[in-house]
Amino acid sequence: MEPFKTYVPEEVIVSPRVRVRRERMLRSLGQLFVRIGQLVHPHDVVAKGPGHTTIHLVDVAAELKLKPKAALKAILVEPGQTVKAEELLARQSGLFHRKELRAPVDGRVMQIDPLGRVVLQVMAEGETLRAGLQGKVINLMPRHGVVIESVGAFVQGVWGNGRSHVGILRLLASSPDDQVSPEQFDVSVRGSIVVVGRTASADVFEAAARARVHGLIMASLRPELLDVAQQQDYAVVVTEGVVGAAMAPPIFDILRRHDGHEAVVHAVFSPARPRLRPDILIPLQVEDAPLFHAGRPLATGDVVRLLAPPLLGKVGTVRDPWVGLGMLESGVEAEGCEVELADGSVHFVPLHAVERLTGAERLGEEEEPSEI
């Protein structure tokens, strides 16, 4: 039996030119608004889901600053009653004041609880599904969703704050290790997707919000700033992680090449779904591009990012994709590969501690883009 082992690594796409196909699926069956072959822009609505019932709780006691008993007296509606948005829900009149509370939404009163809360049953609007990227509709899944294809430079990150935006890519960082200051966020970056280099401070997040950017792209983010990033209205994509690494050179190189071009940032992240990665797409007006195929085994020449200390965040090239078992400094035994770093040093790295930067090996072959 052949002792050699093939190993399919984790991978992120870092490609100067790739054909991206993205499924845009509704959470429940709905209606599609596009046809095959149609060209779409990121903000175009491609499908809508059905409305669904949800609950809206109106805390009359808290809103009118009343005790529960008083709130119950002030409530003007009854269970079963239908109310319109802005319709009067509760009123309390005193000698010198009058307090009123209106329904925030259309709904039906399900219940009024003893704490002075009105439970409204609300028909929520259905999900609106937008294209999310510029491209062509290549497949329809009736009532479920669509597949959109686009060609462009494409970079996947490791963490995102859940927002999606479009904007002009602006490089404020001059190198993968650079760090920008809040003062650099002036009116010229409004509506842009800004590349800030190694990391961002809390001040930078604030300055970016004031400048109304559409996105920030950075290599690393300190753990205590994850919540700050999460709260921003603009998209935030972290390309490396939380341990202070500089931006991987192939990623910085792609972003640098496209400074001034339109980019679509899709900052999705779900720790429960590690392969759902945030990404940055810079659409290119070219037809010819390879299609990405996931699941290729690790091979000699692959560009990889290392995921375990002491080499965490380093980028290198695979010299031998499988060299058998090795003993790590921790005493743990693991199967590994051999990786050569930029300084020429060669290291044994556990197989599960490499992540392929798929497409990065083609960076040297690609010309600088002349026009988009």
Partner 1 sequence: MFGDEFVEEETGSESFLYADIGSIWTRAVLVDQVDGRYSFVARGEARTTLEYPAANIVEGVREAVQEVERASSRTLLGGDGESGPQVLLPEDDDGDGVDAFLVTTSAFRPLKAMVFSTELSAEARAALAALHAFYVDVVGTFTVPQKAGGDWGDHSLADLFQTVDRQRPDVVLFVALDKAEPTPSIEHFLEVLNTCNDLYDVRQRPTVVLVGQTTLVSHLAAQIETMNPVEPVSVGEDEAAGAREALVNVMGKLLHERRLARLPGFGALQAWSETPVQPTAVAQARAIELLARQLRRRLVFVDVGGEHSHLVMADADFTYSMVRPGLGLGFQLQELLKRVGAEAIFRWVPGLLPERELEGLLIHRSWYPCVPPATRDALWLEQAAGRAVLQELVAGPFRHLPDSFRGVNGHVTCDYVIGAGGVIQGAPEPSQALLLLLDTLQPTGIVHIMRDRLGLVPALGVLSQTEPEAVADLLAQHILESLGTVVVLSGPFQPGKEVLQFRMIHPDGATYTVTVEGGRIYREYLAPGMRLELELRPARKVDVGLGPGQPVRIHVPGGTVGLVIDARGRPLTWPETLVEQRRQVQEWLFDVGG
What is the nearest approach in angstroms of partner 1 to the Cβ of residue 123? 10
221-250: which residues touch partner 1 (CB under 8 A)?
222-224, 226, 241-244
In this chain, which of 82, 111, 175, 181 binds partner 1, going by CB under 8 A? 111
User: What strand order describes the sheet that includes 82-83?
Assistant: 52-59, 117-124, 107-113, 82-83
Task: Single out the residue of 180, 226, 230, 177 nearest to residue 207, CA to CA.
Answer: 180
Stretch that binds partner 1, among 85-93, 201-209, 306-314, 338-346 (CB under 8 A): 306-314
Q: Buried (b) or exposed (e) across 91-123, using 16+ Cβ within 10 A?
A: ebeeeeeeeebebeeebbbbebeeebbbbbebe
If binding is defined by CB under 8 A, does position 177 make contact with partner 1? Answer: no
If binding is defined by CB under 8 A, does position 364 make contact with partner 1? Answer: no
CA dihedral of residues 232, 234, 235, 238 (deg, nearest 10)? -50
Distance CA 218, CA 268 (A): 15
If binding is defined by CB under 8 A, does position 70 make contact with partner 1? Answer: no
Nearer to partner 1, 37 or 331 (CB): 331
Task: Single out the residue of 33, 21, 232 nearest to residue 127, CA to CA.
Answer: 33
326-345: which residues touch partner 1 (CB under 8 A)?
328-334
In this chain, which of 25, 70, 76, 110 binds partner 1, going by CB under 8 A? 110
Which residues neighbour 65 within 8 Å (Cβ) at sequence distance 6 or greater? 99
Task: Single out the residue of 313, 351, 304, 316 nearest to residue 332, CA to CA.
Answer: 351
What is the nearest approach in angstroms of partner 1 to the Cβ of residue 53? 5
What is the nearest approach in angstroms of partner 1 to the Cβ of residue 327? 9
Task: Single out the residue of 316, 307, 240, 309 nearest to residue 277, CA to CA.
Answer: 240
Binding track, positions 113-132, relative to partner 1; x by CB under 8 A: xxx-x-x-x-----------
Q: Which residues bind partner 1 (CB under 8 A)?
A: 1, 3, 5, 10, 28, 52-55, 57, 110-111, 113-115, 117, 119, 121, 158-159, 222-224, 226, 241-244, 271-276, 294-295, 307-310, 312, 328-334, 350, 352-353
